[in-house]
A and B are shown apart, each in its own frame.
Chain A
Amino acid sequence: MSVFRHFSRKLVLNTFKSDIKLQINTHCSVCLRFLSYQPIHYDGKPDPGPVFIKKEVQTLLRTLTRVDLAKVFKKRRFGETQLQQPVYKFMTDEQLQEAYEEAKKKVDTFLQIPPVVAVRKPKDKVLSKDPALQGLDTSAFVFTDISYGVRDSERMILVRETDGTLREADWETRDRINQLYFPVAQRQIQTPKMFQDSNLEDLLKRGEYNFILDRACLQFDPNDPLYQKIVSITYQCVNDNNHFNELRSTRHFGSFVFFLAWNKLIDNLLLDIIESEHIEEAKALVELYSHIHQVKYESKENLQQIDEYIKNHASKKAALELAFQAYKNAAKRKGEVEEGIKRAHGLS
């Protein structure tokens, strides 16, 4: 009897297992669909760094970020289990103004845009081959220059392989060794599991864009191919779902817009901006496009430049034209009403 029970139990377990496998299979099919977002790297042809660092481009990106202090200074938890009791202060007008100034200084550090650079080239320079050392040990040796004042990217890290070759350490080893000797706070030696495709997909589905981008900034260097993969997929997802407000007023909006402009994907964003009647930003976006792709507009006036972009470069021409026309009509009517009011008040 007991034997039979045992057998049936096994049977049940096995059937359950097959169920689980099936689930996993279905999950994988979802993964495949998700991976339709192709990671887009900055491959260095041409190098985006010099364009990105230009002063005009930086100001344009800052304009497009649309700084909202309430959002920049929104409540965040810093790993504490309990909230802190706020401090209340009596302030005169001057003191309050000073406090605001102080806070505005902090905005720059909060909104520092993560740099956009080309993806790094693989390191595989062999320094020497010494077959005499072959089989000296069963594992490779890593030699690291741990003297202070050397940048992580320039630190000398060499590997003596078991077959006797002495070569430069590849980037993965470099990252690991750098984190080992000169740890960056909260950065992990192994890649966090959230960046695995299946987990990343779940996060994107939940719209945790800021979480992904913040953690990616912390974990990787900006020229890491994995960083560019994760970030590009997230940007594409944001762009496709029109979730621009999630990234606005955060440090990531600048590099996001740059990514869109670089890959000629700005139409969704431009439509969003025109529909929300932020015409200054639309102008900045079109200008950014011209900076990156060396497009010269014939007219100098802002509205006409936007018009020109829509006519010549946009892929969603119809929608954009419609929205732009609607904006123009609304603006015209607004102007008329204002003039009427002024006239009614006897001002002109």
Chain B
Amino acid sequence: MASQLLNVTRTLSKLSLNTKCRLGNTLIKLEQELAPQPLFSNPSRNTNFFNKLPAHDLWKGITSVSNAGKKRGRGKTVSKKNIKDLNRGQIIGVGKANIVWPGLTAPIIRGKEIVEQQQLPEDPERQKKLDALRDQMGTHRYAKLSPIERGWSGAKMPGRSIGPPDPIGEEVFTGFDSKVIELKTVFNMKGNFGRKRRVSATVVTGNQNGVAGFANGKGQEPKTALRKAKNRSGQKLMHIKIFRNHTVYHDFFTQFGATKIFVQQKPEGYGLVCHRAIKTICEVVGIKDLHAKVEGSTSVTHVMKAFFLGLIRQKSHEEIAESKGLHLVEFCKENGYFPTVLASPAKCRSPDEIKNDEILDFTQYCYDGRVVLKKKKHPPFYTKHKSYEIYLKKQEKLRNKEEVKMNLIAQYGEIRSFLTEKYPECRPYKEPKKEQAEEDSNT
């Protein structure tokens, strides 16, 4: 214990400001006065990280990363937001005790008088200013995005809207909106420069009404890359057929590289149930209801390309009816399965002309004979337990509870029973409204 204390005093002495005039003598005296040391002692080293280097090196070590280190990806937690420089705003000679030091903080001679060292009353403003300055440091935050502006993840760019492409001359992209699909750093090796870092952006733009395009742009900064990609995508627009202004014309299969997508047409109100990239594209194109299953690689660019390919290759109902030589008829449960003819060919084939092995199922025809693998859904494990059986039995008597509750509320304005009239004090507890509760607690 004593030796440890000794070490501490030693280090303190080394750290003291006037390192030149050491306090060696006093230490020796101390040692002499101490009791003889025990036989076993913990080995200790008197040098460490903090006393080997001067202050500015220590400061640098904490607040910065070397260039080589940065390239290797070191020091990711080092950022300006974590650093507070407590020296900032402090002046030598000015401190908590408001003392006038002639020659340091005040002139030695003022007029014909010699300024004397003296203590002035404490300045309460000084500490406040320092605190304000320190609060500013390290608290820098990105402006929080509203949930509408937010992209797929936090404040990241993918999924975010970046406005319409810039107008070209007098041509303005009215009604267009662009969304970021991908934003990433890419590197390129150059003979004389070495690794060169750039930012690559993929953007889709569209007018939410069947015109859309996508493009890639690169730049030194994310901003330039996004601008380039956005403006290029405005130059690569294509027409996309939208069925009844809300969904795709028919189910289809589409593939790009290893990415395979099965897209299904869905009724109004279904929403976009698909990969987030497909959802973003749909929002830009103007498709509101669709189901898509991506199989294979989910690389965002590949998904995008595959989906666009599929959208472009859609056939209109007239084309399908014409190529098949048969009427295309819709049967909807909502209108009592009344046959609604969507498209008719110029000349309809007779039943004899239809081959035996011809695909007559519409979905099969659209998938080109492919079948979507639908895995069997197994019942959950707990359904085999005895306890689940008991649970079901107990629940059975409650099966109509919600409906009865609703009916009671509709009829009487409260939940009641046949005993309510006899015992009017027995009513279900109603949580008082917040304002009322506060008032009651006040009184």
A→B interface (CB under 8 Å):
2-3, 5-6, 9, 69, 73-78, 82-94, 96, 99-100, 103, 106, 110, 190, 193
Chain B binding surface SS class: loop
In angstroms, Cα B268 to Cα A75, docked, is 13
User: Would you list which residues of chain B between 400 and 442 have a CB under 8 Å from chain A?
Assistant: 410-411, 439, 442
Inter-chain contacts of B354 with A (CB < 8 A): 92
- The reply to whether B332 and A75 form a contact with Cβ atoms under 8 Å apart is yes
As a 0/1 sequence over residues 331 to 353 of chain B, the CB contacts with chain A under 8 angstroms (1 = contact) are 11111111101100000111100
Chain B residue at minimum C-beta to C-beta distance from A104: B338
- Evaluate contact between B326 and A76: CB separation under 8 angstroms: no
Known: A82-B267, A96-B329, A99-B339. A90 touches B443 (CB 8 A): no
List 11 A-B pairs, Cβ < 8 Å: A5-B442, A75-B334, A83-B270, A85-B266, A88-B328, A88-B329, A89-B328, A92-B350, A96-B341, A100-B339, A110-B336
Interfacial chain A residues near B362, Cβ < 8 Å = 87-90
* A86 contacts B339, C-beta separation under 8 Å: no
* A91–B334 touching, CB < 8 Å: no
Q: How far is the CA of A77 from the CA of B326 in the complex (A)?
A: 30
Contacts of A69 in B (CB 8 A): 338
Contact B270 A82 (CB under 8 A): yes
Task: Tell me, in angstroms, the Cα distance from A310 to B362 when the chains sit together.
Answer: 57
Quick check: A88 and B333 within 8 Å, CB to CB? no
Complex formed: what's the CA distance from A309 to B411 in Å? 50
Would you call B275 an interface residue if the criterion is a C-beta within 8 Å of the partner chain's C-beta atoms?
no
Q: Please report the C-alpha to C-alpha distance between residue A303 and residue B331 in the assembled complex, in whole angstroms.
A: 43
Q: Which of B328, B333, B351, B365 has the most CB of A within 10 A?
A: B333
Contacts of A99 in B (CB 8 A): 329, 339
For chain B, which range describes its interface: under 10, 10 to 19, 20 to 34, or 35 or more residues? 35 or more
In the bound complex, what is the Cα–Cα distance between A75 and B270 (angstroms)? 17
Residues 331-384 of B contacting A (Cβ, < 8 Å): 331-339, 341-342, 348-351, 354, 360, 362-363, 365
**Residues of chain B lying within 8 A (CB to CB) of residue A6:** 439, 443
Contact of B443 among A3, A73, A87 (CB under 8 A): A3
> Is the CB–CB distance between A86 and B330 below 8 Å?
yes
On B, residues with C-beta under 8 Å from A are 250, 265-270, 324, 326-339, 341-342, 348-351, 354, 360, 362-363, 365, 410-411, 439, 442-443
Given A5-B442, A99-B339, A103-B339, A89–B350 Cβ distance below 8 Å? no
Distance of A107 from chain B, by nearest CB (Å): 9
Check A86–B331 contact: CB distance below 8 A: yes
A91 to B354, CA, bound (A): 11
> Across the interface, do A96 and B327 meet the contact criterion of CB distance under 8 Å?
yes
Q: Report Cα–Cα, A191/B107, bound state, in Å.
A: 99
Q: Which residues of chain A are within 8 angstroms of B439 by Cβ–Cβ distance?
A: 5-6, 9
Given known contacts A5-B443, A193-B410, is B330 in contact with A83 (CB within 8 Å)?
no
Q: Are B348 and A82 closer than 8 Å at their CB atoms?
A: no
Instruction: Contact check, A88 vs B342: say whether CB atoms are below 8 A apart.
Output: yes
Q: Give which listed residue, B267, B326, B335, contacts A85 with CB less than 8 A.
A: B267
Contacts of B341 in A (CB 8 A): 96
Is B269 in contact with A82, judged by CB distance below 8 angstroms? yes
Smallest beta-carbon distance A259→chain B, Å: 27
Do the beta carbons of A84 and B442 come within 8 Å of each other?
no
Q: How far is the CA of A89 from the CA of B442 in the complex (A)?
A: 70
A82→B334 CA distance, assembly (Å): 11
A92 contact from B270, B327, B338, B342, Cβ within 8 A: B327
Complex Cα–Cα for A142 and B399 (A): 28
What's the nearest-Cβ distance from chain B to residue A225, in Å? 22
- CB of B411 within 8 A of CB of A190, answer yes
CA distance A74 to B340 in the complex (A): 11
Question: A76 and B443: CB pair below 8 A?
Answer: no
- Rounded to whole angstroms, the CA-CA distance of A86 and B250 in the bound complex is 11
Q: Is the CB of B334 within 8 A of A88?
A: no
- Report how far A291 CA is from B392 CA in the complex, Å: 62
Instruction: Please judge, given known A-B contacts A88-B328, A193-B410, whether A76 and B335 are in contact too, CB under 8 Å.
Output: yes
Q: Is the CB of A92 within 8 A of B411?
A: no
Q: Which residue of A lies closest to B350 (CB)?
A: A92
Cross-interface CB contact of A90 among B267, B327, B337, cutoff 8 Å: B327
Q: Would B336 and A73 count as touching, CB distance under 8 A?
A: yes
- Contacting pair A83 B269 (CB below 8 A): yes
CA distance A100 to B338 in the complex (A): 8
- Pairs A-B, 3 closest by C-beta atoms: A73-B338, A83-B267, A88-B362
In whole Å, how far is B364's beta carbon from the nearest beta carbon of chain A?
Answer: 11
Given known contacts A2-B443, A73-B338, A74-B335, A87 and B327 CB-to-CB distance under 8 angstroms = no
Please give, as numbers and ranges, the residues of chain A lying within 8 Å of B333 by CB-CB distance.
78, 84, 86
Enumerate chain B residues within 8 angstroms of A100, measured Cβ to Cβ. 339
